[in-house]
Structures are given as C-alpha cells and as structure tokens.
Chain A
Amino acid sequence: MFNNYQEFWNLLPMIIIGAGIIISLIIEMYSKKSEVILPWFSILLFLAAGLHALFYIGDISIVLQNMLATGGNVNIFHAIFTLGAAVVTLLSIDYLKKYGIYFREYYIILQTSVLGMMLMAAAKDILVIFLGLELMSISFYILAGMNRKRLNANEASLKYFLLGAFATGFIVYGIALIYGAAHTTSIDFITSDFNLLSGNLLFVAGVLLFLIGFSFKIAAFPFHMWVPDVYEGAPTSVAALFSTGGKAAAFSAIIATLFALFNNGGQGNFFTPFLAVISVLSMFYGSIVAIAQDNIKRMLAYSSISHAGYLIIGLAAGNYDAVAGVIFYLAAYTFMNLGAFGMVALIEGKDETNLSINSYSGLGSKKPLLAALLALLMFSLAGIPPFAGFFGKYYIFIAAIKANLTWLAILGVISSAISVYFYIRIVVLMYFKTSDTEIGFEESNNYMLAIILSVLIVVLMGVFPGSFIDLVTKFI
C-alpha cells in the first residue's frame, strides 16, 4: 500500500485522524468516563495532526497512486481544519452541557467530518474530492440535527440534508460530464489539457454543474437559502464548524480542481464572467440582508454569504496572487468566525435565549474583556486594519486589480463598506447603550480559552501578514 516509510510519514495527519476515529469508537464503547475523555482526546488528535502538518510543510509529494498530495498548501489547509476543529471541540464541551446533549458520538462525527475536509484538500483525483465531500457533508447533516428533541434542530438538519443532497446530484452529474470529456478523473491530466478541453461543450457544462453544486457548499448565491436557517437551527458550536471548516474545505477542492484556471498568467478565462456574477450577487445579497437581521446567528450567516462572495473574487481573478489571497482569507476568516461564534455560544442562554442583537447592549461595562474581544473580532470581520480580515480582503482585491478586474474589486470595496454597518452596530450596542435586563450566562475556562486562541491567531495574522503570504506563495 505504501511504497516507503516517507509516504506514510507524509500522510500522517490524515492517518492520525483516521486511526483516532477508530480508537474513539473503542473508548466510547468500553469506557464509563468517555464523556470526559473523548473531547480532550479529540483535541489532542487535532493538535497532533495540525502540528505535524505545520512542521513538515516542506515534504511535498504525491502518494497512493496519484490519489493524494501532501505538503505545501495542502498542509496549510490541514492545519486550518484541524486547529479550527480543536477550537470547535473546546467550545462544544460546555455548550453541549448547557443544552443537555449527552451524545458522545458528537465528537466522533466531528472527527469524521474533519477527515472528509482533509481528504478534499489533499485530493489529486476527482474521486477523492467526491468521497471527502460526502464524508464531510453526511457528518454535517448528523451534527446539525444532533439535538434531536428540538424541532428547530430537526428542521435545520432536514433542510441541510435535502439541499445538500440536491447539490450532490449536480456535482456527481458534473463529474460524469467532465469524465466523459477528459476521459479521466485525474486532476493533473485535466489541468494539463485544460485549454484544449475548454472548447468542449461537454466539459464546460460539466464544470459549470460542478461549480453550481459547490456554490452550495461554500454558501454562495444560487444555493444560499439554506445558510441562515441551518445556522440558526443547528447548535452554535456546529454552526461554527459549518461556516469555517466546511467553507474552507469546499474552497480548497475548487482551487485544486480548477487550478488550471490560475495557470494562464491571469489572462482571465471562460469561467471568469460566471464566477464574477456569483461573487457580486453573494457579496451584495449577504451584506444588505444582514443589516435587517435581529438574530445574531442569522446575521453571521448572511455575513458568511458575503464573505463567500469576496473569496470568489479571488477565484475569478485567476492568478497566483489570488490563490495566495484566498488561502490567507480562508485562514483569517476561519479563526475570526470561530471567535465570533464562540462568543455567541458563550452568551447564548439555555433554550436559545440571548440570541437577539440587543442582548449585547451594555456588555462593555458589565464584561469588559469579553466586549473587547468581540469588538476586535467584529472589526476584523468588517475588514478594518490592522486585523487579519483587512489583509485578506486587501490581497484578494489587489489580485483582482492585477487581473484587470478593477470593477469587481471596486464592487467588493463598496460591499464591505456596507457590511461595516452591521458589524459596528454590535460594537456600538456594547459600548454606548445600556440595558436594564440582566442577561445571565456562565463564563468558563473552556470558552475563554477557545475565544482567546482564535483572537490571538487573528491578531498575529494581522500583525505579520507578510510572512504568512510568503509561506503560501512559496508553495503555489
């Protein structure tokens, strides 16, 4: 199976998680204290896999009969997924207690979804992308409905499942057409014949169907309507994973599949107009509708749609700067969103209270530390310097200008200016408004650790954006 020891070593992040799933199942079966052990065991697994991926980032290789790639940007994605999942697990411990969800399977299904994301990022064959995508999605359907006694969670899970399976239908049909045109499912062959294939109607139709299906997974415009419902109904800790890991994984798969788009020196290509339209619609739809939201989870959901729009600008720009920008933005977005969702999970009371934006008013005087952290995250999401969110947008817009898509960059700037309104509104509520009603919530070390970790990464990426971009650019 493995040609040599080196292949095994390079694949270790995925093997750690894969073996961890089996060990977790055994722990769940035999240990009476598995409720306490499992979360910390999965955090340990995620950290081990993530640190391995980061330390051996230079070991670039293609393993297992051209099916998987390792090293370079694949490892950066692996680190994003695993560290993000570690933060999610940390958030989940107290969140699940608050809601009385005592299913230990939760942590195991979380691990399987992360394995699916890692497969998607590492794929060198469309088959692997498909399997990773389904492993991730099916785990997500279960996680969304984990709180099975609550009607909201049932409903979110059903909607996510039906629309997700619908999108899968598009993706599989698209893959079938791509296979018919290219005679293979190997991404390397498709990439090298890309210019030849672009004239083939079957191939173009296949790629368009593939992109339509994936726009569901990244929560972009044509398939966005599930996003607010699912984020609102699903447990907050799970919604944090959907909006970060799921989105980053889908983008990693699109970047891998359509890498040929970025190969032609940024001359633009056949798919640029299609991507540009999707990105403009997602950005503006997300930013404008978010203004009208009162529920903070729905607001974050619409903001997630508009962030998908900014990321697609990078795909439309189609040059190497754009790839680096997209990866930077995904890393930054993952941790600022995890922080924001972590804060929502902390402040949320039992039975979905304290979710209105108004429950945040007066937080600045009552809990200064929490308010400061949340304000920082909101500034970063809004794209205000010097935080990570600003540099992500900056790199993507610069790449768009280099690709002669200045109009798209300008629309992006306008849309992010609109989005400043609803992010800053929360900061204003926290510091300049007082509320008479006391909102009760219990702070705990787990929440604080998770939030402070995400904020730390956001600040570090904002202070040293250059070194991260250099790292990413080196491996493209």
Chain B
Amino acid sequence: MIITIEYYLILSAFMFLVGVTGVLINRNAIVVFMSIELMLNSANLTLVTFSSFLGNSIGQLFVFFVMTVAAAEAAVGLAIIIAIFRNKLTVNIDEINILKW
C-alpha cells in the first residue's frame, strides 16, 4: 500500500480536532494545556508532511521554531499554573472564577 499525502493530512487534521475538543471539554488546566500541545504537534506534523512531499526544507525549519516556542510556552504556563495552585489549591478551571469568565 502506498501512503499518500492525504493520509498524513487527515491524521494531522484529526489530531488538531482532538486537541480543540480537549481544550473545550476538559476542566483541568493541565489537561487543557496538554490538549493545546497536541494542537501544536498536529501543526508540526502538517508542516513536516508538506515539507517532505513538496521537497523543500522551509517546513522542517519551521517545526524547530514551533517546538522551541512550545517549550518556552510550557515553562511559563506551568509556572502560572503553580502560582495559582499555591494561592487557591486547585487547578480546576470552573473553580477559578473570581473574575466573571
């Protein structure tokens, strides 16, 4: 069986949708954050796929930048989650509601 570009694109679109759904239905801040990482990784898969099938390297280059940014975002995000956990002893989004959401 020949694996064409559509398989990769459908897989990455599915991953993206799983990520979006995860952000919308999960209530735990850390799980929401994991779903966001899944969205970023689906974009990475798309970039690598196109890069490979188009035969140019821009997409692969982009992936490195996306991964670096995701790492920076994770560092800041987890620090924010820890800061709120120290004050409130919960990371459930529904209970974080002093400001009207």
Contacts and interface: CB of A to CB of B under 8 A. Distances in A.
B28 to A, nearest CB: 11
A184 B58 contact: yes
B88 A151 contact: yes
A148 interface: yes
Contact of B98 (A131, A141, A155): A155
Q: How large is the interface on A (under 10, 10 to 19, 20 to 34, 35 or more residues)?
A: 35 or more
B87 A151 contact: yes
Contact of B43 (A175, A183, A233): A175
A228 B72 CA distance: 26
A152 interface: yes
A179 B59 contact: yes
Contacts of B101: 159, 225, 229
Interface residues on B, range: 35 or more
Contacts of A166: 23, 36, 39
Nearest to A230: B99
Contact of B47 (A134, A159, A179): A179
Interface in B5-41: 16, 19-20, 23, 29, 32-33, 36, 39-40
A145 B80 contact: yes
Interface string A148-182: 11011011111101100110111011011101100
Contacts of B99: 152, 155-156, 159, 228-229, 232-233
A193 to B, nearest CB: 15
A142 interface: yes
Interface in B58-96: 58-59, 61-62, 65-66, 69, 72-73, 76-77, 80-81, 83-84, 87-88, 93, 96
Nearest to A149: B87
Given A130-B69, A158-B29, A169 B39 contact: yes
B62 A185 contact: yes
A206 to B, nearest CB: 10
A288 interface: no
Contact of B58 (A130, A149, A172, A179): A179
A157 B83 contact: yes
Contacts of B29: 158, 162
Contacts of B59: 176, 179
A452 interface: no
A449 to B, nearest CB: 31
B58 A138 contact: no
A157 B72 CA distance: 16
A154 B69 contact: no
B47 A162 contact: no
B69 A175 contact: no
A168 B77 CA distance: 13
A276 to B, nearest CB: 25
A159 B84 CA distance: 11
Contact of A172 (B33, B43, B80, B88): B43
Contacts of A168: 36, 40, 69, 73
Contacts of A161: 76-77, 80
A169 B40 contact: yes
Contacts of A141: 76-77, 80
A225 B33 CA distance: 18
B2 interface: no
A228 B87 CA distance: 22
A127 interface: yes
Nearest to B47: A176
B54 interface: yes
A225 B81 CA distance: 20
A157 B62 contact: no
Contacts of B58: 179, 184-185
A116 to B, nearest CB: 11
A151 B66 contact: no
A138 B100 contact: no
Nearest to A152: B98
B76 A138 contact: yes
Nearest to A139: B76
Instruction: Indicate the member of A138, A172, A177 with the most B CB atoms within 10 Å.
Output: A172
Top 7 nearest A-B pairs (CB, nearest first) are A169-B39, A176-B46, A172-B43, A180-B50, A229-B99, A154-B84, A173-B43
Interface of A: 127, 130-131, 134, 138, 141-142, 145, 148-149, 151-152, 154-159, 161-162, 165-166, 168-170, 172-173, 175-177, 179-180, 183-185, 225, 228-229, 232-233
12 contacts: A130-B62, A131-B65, A145-B83, A158-B84, A158-B96, A165-B73, A168-B73, A175-B43, A176-B44, A179-B59, A183-B56, A225-B101
